[in-house]
Chains A and B, each alone.
Chain A
Amino acid sequence: MTVTVSMTLNGKKVSADVEERTLLVSLLRDHLRQTGTHVGCDTSQCGACVVHVNDRSVKSCTMLASQVDGADVLTIEGLAKNGELHPMQEAFRDNHGLQCGFCTPGMVMSALDLVANNPDPSEREVREWLEGNLCRCTGYHNIVKSILAGAKAMRKGG
């Protein structure tokens, strides 16, 4: 059976008809061709798929598409404005917080949720917050640095 899912995606109203069992990540990637959100596992562990639903970070591989009907969804594609990186994205670039870039969208989206709730996190808090995000390239060292720098830039930016 198909269902119609309507939502606001990165500020735009969109809708799609999908099979009932479709996951949110598949709605984004396969149906709406927003491929910035990645899939790295099948057990909800890697965090490559993190997006925001109604301002909270979720693993989009763990939600049904139908659950976001009527919701406000933000993905990595929605962060930069007019070609200008969001301060958190800029911090990742400036601190070499990414190598292959595959975990990066999830890392950035996850970091933004942390900072929304804890604008001035400690290094330990960042490391613990990233429990649900795996990276094989960076050893997390520069990801942690990036998130701390991004949080700082966001505090300055008001």
Chain B
Amino acid sequence: MSATGIGAAVRRKEDYRFLTGNGRYLDDISLPNQSYAYFVRSPHAHATFTVGIEKAENAPGVIAVFTGADIVKAGLGGLICGWVITGKNGEPHKAPPHPLLAVDTVRHVGDPLAVVIAESYAQAKDAAETVEVDYQPKAAVTSPTAALDNSAPQVHADAPGNLCYDWEIGDKSATDAMFNKAHHVTKLELINNRLIPNAIEPRSAIGDYNSGTDEITLYTTSQNPHVARLVISAFVQLTPEHKLRVVAPDIGGGFGSKIFIYSEETVAAWAARELKRPVKWTAERSESFMTDAHGRDHVTHAELALDKSGKFLGMKVSTVANLGAYLSTFATCVPTYLYATLMQGQYTTEAIYCEVKAVFTHTTPVDALRGAGRPEATYVVERLVEQAAREMKMDASDLRKINFIPADAFPYQTQVALQYDSGNYAGSMDQALKLIDYKGFSKRKEQSKAEGKLRGVGFSAYIEACGIAPSAVVGSLGAGVGLYESAEIRFNPTGNVTVFTGSHSHGQGHETTFAQLVSDKLGVPFDNIDVVHGDTARIPFAMGTYGSRSLAVGGSAISKAIDKVIAKGRKIAAHTLEAAEEDIEFKDGNFTVKGTDRTMDIGAVAFAAYVPHNYPSDELEPGLDESAFYDPANFTFPAGTHACEVEVDPDTGVVDIVKWVAADDFGNIVNPMIVEGQVHGGVAHGIGQALLEGCQYAPDSGQLLTGSFMDYGMPRADVFPDIEVATQVTPCPHNPLGVKGCGEAGAIAAPAALVNAITDAIGASNITMPATPEKVWRALNAAG
């Protein structure tokens, strides 16, 4: 392995600019003559309204005030959901209108209804205070189960009963048959708490219109600028695709929340053209809390049927998923194809049935958040399994082991549509048991007891479907787009390389990992490779970053482009070296005539391609610039076991996480340092969910009670233990790099592991996340 090649813990290229304050995040950009937008938002969860803007229009510095009516007049469409779910009844889901600015009804706190654009941000904000909105508040519903009640307030007239869809997967009668012959059935009521994403950089956008070319440039905090361009062009119909450029520069974290197409950026782009001036908007954190798409929010009843030996016979899951007030861009696929399809977990469960009702409520839209559906699925499966072990008085790791899909059973067709490609689940479990010193646990428990503390251990043997996704498969399931990725490798005449990738980087370190890949495979020095992403005017059409797909799909596209470069280089070298093409070998950056010392490095080949004086011009075009699209053959299936130990103080209910081990299988690894960092971050997100975070609405008024960092339990540095990360490698068999993806694993695995450990410590069958000291203390006292 070279110092900068595949497998090396190369220090990141991007860090110098971030560490010196030279990153270029969205709000760091200011354009000449820029104006500032401030949105008027509903303080009510549900109301009809009329709006008067005269005063605001005349306020100091105000350039324009626009309302929902202006958007309608301009002929713009609303926001869309890109994935249609077909319900049990064979009907497509209900997709009520999602206007950019509310016209006569607001449906959640923070719903935007007007925008004030002024010379300065302060003036826009001041003037927004003078927009006169006459609200007629209406009854609101925030809980997903309450929304299904006959008497519940209705969110949309065209979604009766607040139902978006009622969907199912799996074989119901086969599952019932398994339950009929079960020796034991474990049942749990589970709530997957609603999370607020809180990337530390707030969303932001600048619209900029060039009246000479009639082109709009939208700078926006996006994980997938081409998807934003497509939606804003084809569906909002702002302007044709070739007249819209979307730029997503350095982005301060996304976690899913910056996948989606939002009102504010779309309005900024439109308003810039209306006003012929750049329009900038940056969210205040309170706006982020109210309007960044939230995550999770499931209420689930789940059952696991076991035979006498502990083998899993069947699983039944019934979930109500809260989608919020409007359908966000990919909302509908999260509680279905990213959730229920993972109910097989790592096990040979013989029959599975899952049904999901997705509902509208008067809350912020809910969509994908780190893990997206898979943390919820893992929580269901791994809580059930752990609880079943306790009820059957079996060791939790042994029960898992007798049910694991064996390492030689791949490819493995699950009961819920997916085909797992590879894995070694027992291998990861063994690794985790060793790292956590499971054998020594009972002794440590005794020690804790002697100190008046309750110790518990918990596992989570998770699996995820990543590397999203084969286009034909997702198309057949209702996706409105394909999910391939693109890449271009451009040699410059002097031999250095620019790599263009559709995989946006907002913390994942693609500029480093992808350069490692190219350096390793093409033998170009690492420092001579730059990676470009995040600008529709520079990169090929691309689907962007989510679902742990960047290396598995985006990296595979790069790998294909690399192959094309080598193929062309071989032809050029054959011509120059006067040899047959079959006789040219490529290794470490050199094209060599087999068995001779006649050789030409790739830099010389690039030069010959751009200065084609001695060149096979009759059969080859000049230049060395190859692009590729890669459509994956299957999902990838990262998996592993996380284990943790906690100590609970019975007097206070405070949970102290004393040890965390992550034994993951991500397939081949390009940069282990970056992979570990991704695991840390994911685990932290999962621990946050299990211990601290939880979005709360006042049930009657629908007010957001956790609308700031003071009220919402963001994890801080003192919460976490040292996180020990280990990996085993079962390469992905169907992508050229053998990689699986690592960005979401921690967030998927962690909540179940932690809740399993806490319930073990306090001897309770269940506790609702976040397991705050109060809840733990109450559970302890109820159980004791």
Contacts and interface: CB of A to CB of B under 8 A. Distances in A.
A155 interface: no
B12 A93 contact: yes
A45 B710 contact: yes
A73 B599 CA distance: 57
Nearest to A22: B122
Interface string A119-145: 000001011101101111111111110
B122 A21 contact: yes
B525 interface: no
B722 A102 contact: no
Nearest to A33: B30
A104 B18 CA distance: 7
Contacts of B7: none
A63 interface: no
Contacts of A19: 122
A33 to B, nearest CB: 8
A70 interface: no
Contacts of A143: 717
Given A96-B674, A104-B18, A139 B681 contact: yes
Chain A interface size band reads: 35 or more
B673 A131 contact: no
Contacts of A92: 15, 19
B709 A45 contact: yes
A32 B19 CA distance: 19
Contacts of A76: 19-21
A99 B715 CA distance: 17
A100 B200 contact: yes
B252 interface: yes
Contacts of B652: none
Contact of B19 (A30, A45, A85): A85
A36 B717 contact: no
Given A89-B20, A100-B507, A141-B720, A38 B681 contact: no
Contact of B23 (A46, A101, A108, A144): A101
A18 to B, nearest CB: 11
Given A100-B200, A100-B507, A105-B21, A45 B717 contact: no
Give the most central of B11, B28, B716: most A CB within 10 Å: B716
B557 interface: no
Nearest to A89: B19
A128 B718 contact: yes
Contacts of A39: 27, 202, 282
Contacts of B714: 45, 134, 136
A80 B17 CA distance: 11
B565 interface: no
Contacts of A131: 716-718
B253 A100 contact: yes
A20 to B, nearest CB: 11
A37 interface: yes
Nearest to A41: B285
A135 B200 CA distance: 7
A99 B681 contact: yes
Contact of B21 (A30, A77, A93, A100): A77
B700 to A, nearest CB: 25
B285 A138 contact: no
Interface in A1-51: 19, 21, 29-30, 33-43, 45-46, 48
B552 to A, nearest CB: 19
A55 interface: no
A141 B657 CA distance: 14
A35 B249 CA distance: 14
A100 B19 contact: no
Interface of B: 11-12, 14-25, 27-28, 30, 122, 198-202, 250-253, 255, 282, 284-286, 506-509, 673-674, 676-677, 680-685, 687, 708-710, 714-718, 720, 722-723, 746
Closest CB pairs A-B (n = 8): A36-B21, A102-B252, A101-B18, A139-B684, A100-B507, A99-B507, A45-B709, A35-B28
8 contacts: A92-B19, A93-B15, A100-B199, A101-B507, A108-B19, A138-B681, A139-B681, A139-B687
Given A99-B677, A100-B251, A128-B717, 16 more contacts: A19-B122, A29-B28, A37-B21, A38-B25, A40-B200, A45-B709, A80-B20, A96-B11, A102-B253, A131-B717, A137-B507, A138-B681, A139-B720, A140-B716, A140-B720, A144-B717
